[in-house]
Amino acid sequence: MEEKEELEIDGKQKKCIVTVAGDTIANGQLCKKLIIAYQDNPNEKRVFAAFEKDSKIYGVFGSSTNLLIDFK
C-alpha cells in the first residue's frame, strides 16, 4: 500500500510517499514496516516500524516508542 502525504517538518511542508512494506516485530511489538520517501529527495528513504493502539499510532525508533498520531 502506498499513500501520498504532506508532513510538516521544522515548520516546513514536505510532500512524501509512505509505503507499507509488510509486517515486522520491533521491541517485541507486532508492527508495520513503513518506508518514507520525500518528493524533494526520493532516493533518500527512511524506514521505521509503527503500530496502532487505542486509536493512536506509535513509531518505533530503536529502543524508543513515540506517539505519532492521536485520532481521539
What is the reported pLDDT for 52?
Answer: 94
Position 13, amino acid:
Q
pTM: 0.71
What mean pLDDT is predicted for residues 18-39?
92
What is the reported pLDDT for 2?
Answer: 55
Long-range contacts of residues 40-47, Cβ cutoff 8 Å, at least 24 apart: 40/14, 40/15, 42/17, 47/21
